[in-house]
Amino acid sequence: MKTFATEPRPEGLRARPCPLCGHESPRPLWNLEAFSFAICPRCGLVQQNPQPLSEFVLARYDDAYLRYEEEKQFAYAALEMLTLRDLGYPDFGAGLASRARSEGRAPSVLDVGCATGALLASLRDDGWDCRGVEVCIPAAAYGRERFGLDIRPTILEEAGFAPRSFDLIHASHLIEHLNEPGSFLAYTRSLLAPGGRILITTPNIDGFQARILGPRWRSAIHDHLFLFSRRSLARLLSDSGFRIRSQVTWGGWAAGLKPAFLKPLLDPLARKTGQGDVLAFLCEALRQ
């Protein structure tokens, strides 16, 4: 499915050091004319540099984003459920639910960047107490009205959740859009109950598609401020106080890409070797 992408426009920009290791001289990687990606020569993290300021990033998610998500919401929710299952759901979910119910409450889940809330509606049917955060105000309103969900139209840090409120935090195709991914992970850790889990899904710059296509890769877009590998994301998670419990990658060759004969060859190989187009980590928050 086609990735949502906004057209480049005049925005405030700033150069920035690598947020993973602090190196101040990233090396140019891909120049896409209106924006460019650079790679850190010390740790390998790829980011847009210069990078748009956060207020300009937030302004990108408007009615056009809602239309895109509304059209694809159930297909995306089904893919997200497949990711959950690949990482051990419902088994790990049952463990979290059992612990929550021993404390006299329902298991709680927060979906950050939940779009219309279609995944949350499905998890609610499984007995979860569901909350969402979505910076696209029309999408948050849609989810509240369509599914009756508590979706807060703001950034996570301003949503007003109490510390240790959630057993599970889900963030699918979100972290690559954030100016400060490390700060985001540190904050999510504070929101997790003891033994809580976070699920992070993001494009994989070490996948076959990225390696073969380079700047023509479908995830090398204006809206992706970071492009993670398994190594760089694992380091960021570890630095933020998480331990990886399981991981998976998938997608060797996108449908519609030529030559088409590569898809049946690369799809199973990508999953087996960890070089899929998308990667997902299930992590546990370490004790604070």
pLDDT digits (tens, 9 = 90+) for 208-255: 999 999 999 999 999 999 999 999 999 999 999 999 999 999 999 888
State the chain's mean pLDDT as an integer: 95
Under 8 Å CB-to-CB from 241, ≥6 apart: which residues? 185, 186, 189, 285, 286, 288
Across 184-195, average pLDDT: 96
Please name the residue ranges forming H helices in 131-180. Answer: 137-147
pLDDT of 144 above 70: yes
pLDDT at residue 118 in the model: 98
| pTM of the shown model | 0.96
Q: What residue type is 67 in one-letter code?
A: R
Does pLDDT of 158 surpass 60?
Answer: yes
Determine the structural domain holding residue 55 and report its residue range: 27-59+205-278
Q: Kindly tell me the burial class for residue 155, based on how many C-beta atoms sit within 10 Å of its own C-beta (0-12, 13-18, 19 or more).
A: middle
Which residue in this structure is represented by tokens 């599914």? Answer: 147
Indicate if 92 and 109 belong to the same structural domain: yes
Dig out the tokens for 49 from the structure. Answer: 């540099």
- Span 120-141, average pLDDT: 97
Same domain for 223 and 257?
Answer: yes
Residue 120 included in any domain: yes
- Nearest alpha-carbon partner for 45 in 23, 12, 68: 23
**Residue reference for tokens 């979910």:** 93
Q: Is residue 285 part of a domain?
A: no
Q: Is pLDDT of 278 > 90? A: yes
**pLDDT at position 217:** 96
What's the pLDDT band for 288 if we cut at 50, 70, 90? low
Choose one of 172, 197, 215: the last residue of a domain: 172
Q: Are strands 51-52 and 13-14 parallel, antiparallel or unpaired?
A: antiparallel
Please check whether residue 91 lies inside any domain of the structure: yes
Residues 156 and 216 reside in one and the same domain: no
Rg (CA), the chain: 18
What is the helix, strand, coil percentage profile of the chain, to 5? Answer: 40, 25, 40
- For residue 268, being part of any structural domain is answered with yes
> Are residues 50 and 87 part of one domain?
no
Q: What average pLDDT does range 139-151 have in this prediction?
A: 98
- At 2, is the pLDDT very low, low, confident or very high (cuts 50, 70, 90)? low
**Cα(254)–Cα(66) distance, integer angstroms:** 24
Q: Do 80 and 165 belong together in one domain?
A: yes
The reported pLDDT for the residue numbered 254 is 87
Give the pLDDT mean for 254-267: 89
Share above pLDDT 70 across residues of the chain, in percent, rounded to a whole number: 99
Give the per-residue pLDDT at 3: 80
Could you read off the pLDDT of 60-118 as tens digits, one per residue?
999 999 999 999 999 999 999 999 999 999 999 999 999 999 999 999 999 999 999 99
Percent with pLDDT over 90 in the chain: 93
Please state the domain count of the chain.
Answer: 2
- pLDDT recorded at residue 34: 92
User: Do 45 and 86 belong together in one domain?
Assistant: no
Distance between alpha carbon 87 and the CA centroid of its chain, in Å?
A: 15
220: left (phi over 0), alpha (psi -120 to 50) or beta: beta
Residue 251 · residue 275 · CB < 8 Å: no
